[in-house]
Amino acid sequence: MRCPSVVIVAGGRSRRLGQEKPFARVGGRSTLSRLLDAASQIEDVVLSVRDAEPFVAFLGGGGEWTPASREAPDRAAGSFAFAATGGRRLLIVPDPVPGLGPLAGFVSGAAAARGRVAVVLAGDLPFVTAAFVDRIGEGLAADREHEAHVPLVDGRAQPLCAAYRSETVATAARLLARSGGTGGGKPPSMMSLLGSLRVRYLEPSDFGGVGSLKTITRGIDQPADLEWANRRAARSADRRCDAQSPGSQAS
């Protein structure tokens, strides 16, 4: 069973990094392209962003972007849909009120997703793997008791590298509505959403064979993180070259 939807929350202003996190290059490739590769087996991908136009321009050609209202009249104004090959869909949805934080991005993105379960990923995670996406999405799809599966790293929940049922959108929207939902005060956090859900928290031992959970959940929030990510990508590239060299295997 494949997880039917992935939502990438990429609406932050990237003030500490000094550049748009999804567009930052790690190992010669943008973080966004790495995330899309990790979701390449998923039929429905939604990007929840501050402004759709820069993402349409960044992702460029290879197909036709159309206003998403042509696909469905209830899509948010300013949304764009991309019809990819093989029946896959990529939808870019802007935040209706910019500046309300990740929870608002979660609401707009997950509300546009088609699946009953969505893997929700921050837009600054360069080392998410397809195996991780499958594992956490399929795990929640098979779990009738919980509304979300959320990894723990060093005892800390990772709500933007987690899986959620579609019903959680209504809970998140109510939290935003109670706060006023206009950007005037401090918006509620993703952690406040977890406090309102039935959550199964997952340990690194639940992710055997999918890669280091600490690496998968580490974002590039500031320049030191980006330097770390590029060092790690370079080491991974060196290991691949060594493994592929003629003398790497015994004859």
The pLDDT tens digits of the residues spanning 195-248 come to: 999 999 999 999 998 989 999 999 999 999 999 999 999 987 656 554 555 554
Q: Give the per-residue pLDDT at 1.
A: 42
Q: Which of 55, 79, 56 is nearest to 67 (CA)?
A: 79
Neighbours of 39 (CB within 10 A): 23
CB 220 within 8 A of CB 124: yes
Query: For 13-42, what is each residue's pLDDT tens digit?
Result: 777 787 889 999 999 999 999 999 999 999
Structure tokens at 84: 């990819």
- Give the pLDDT mean for 107-120: 94
* pLDDT of res. 184: 57
Residue-level pLDDT at 248: 46
- The pLDDT, as a whole number, for residue 182 is 55
Question: If DSSP codes are grouped into helix, strand and coil, which group holds residue 145?
Answer: coil
The token pair that represents 159 in the structure block: 């709500």
Q: How far apart are the first and last CA of the chain?
A: 40
| 161 pLDDT more than 60 | yes
Percent of the chain with pLDDT over 70: 78
The β-bridge partners of 6 are: 45, 119
Within a 10 A sphere around the Cβ of 242, how many other Cβ atoms? 10
CB 101 within 8 A of CB 189: yes
Mean local confidence (pLDDT), 120-144:
96
**Beta 5-10 vs 117-122: how paired, if at all?**
parallel
Q: Are strands 29-30 and 25-26 parallel, antiparallel or unpaired?
A: antiparallel
Tell me what the pLDDT averaged over the chain comes to. 84
Q: Which pLDDT value is given to residue 73?
A: 43
More confident residue, 12 or 211: 211
